[in-house]
Amino acid sequence: ETGVTQSPTHLIKTRGQQVTLRCSSQSGHNTVSWYQQALGQGPQFIFQYYREEENGRGNFPPRFSGLQFPNYSSELNVNALELDDSALYLCASSWTGLAGEFEQYFGPGTRLTVT
């Protein structure tokens, strides 16, 4: 069983630039969620994708957007980067069926630094 993988591991960007982070879900999972974790804090929910559509969104501005592909992998895009966007970005995958969503399994994260 392949776990959740994310790329890249680390990334340094300049304020105002755009970034794309990638996530491959665990095999057998069809749902992907994205979280932002600032230093010393718990993860904050950005959004979730199920069946290639956004299925819930947290308190993040529209410059945070995403995609889910037919193979259930996902991208997180952030436009017009701000210094406060510096954080660890976590992807989590899960199975959603008729009974609802099961537990989420997390990847190792992408550390984004905005200078």
Q: Report yes or no: 59 and 112 within 8 Å, Cβ to Cβ.
A: no
Six token digits for residue 34: 């994205």
Q: Does 56 engage in binding with other proteins (CB under 8 A)?
A: yes
- Residue 66 interacts with other proteins (CB under 8 A): yes or no: no
Which of the ranges 7-15, 66-74, 75-83, 96-104 carries the binding residues for other proteins, by CB under 8 A? 96-104
Nearer to other proteins, 21 or 81 (CB): 21
The first and second tokens of residue 9, run together, are 């591991």
Query: Which DSSP helix (H) or strand (E) runs through 85?
Result: none
Q: Are strands 87-94 and 96-97 parallel, antiparallel or unpaired?
A: unpaired
d(CA 68, CA 86): 23
Contact between 107 and other proteins (CB under 8 A)? Answer: yes
Q: Does 110 bind other proteins (CB under 8 A)?
A: no
**Residues near other proteins, by CB under 8 A:** 31, 33, 35, 40-45, 48, 50, 55-56, 58, 90, 92, 94, 100-101, 103-109
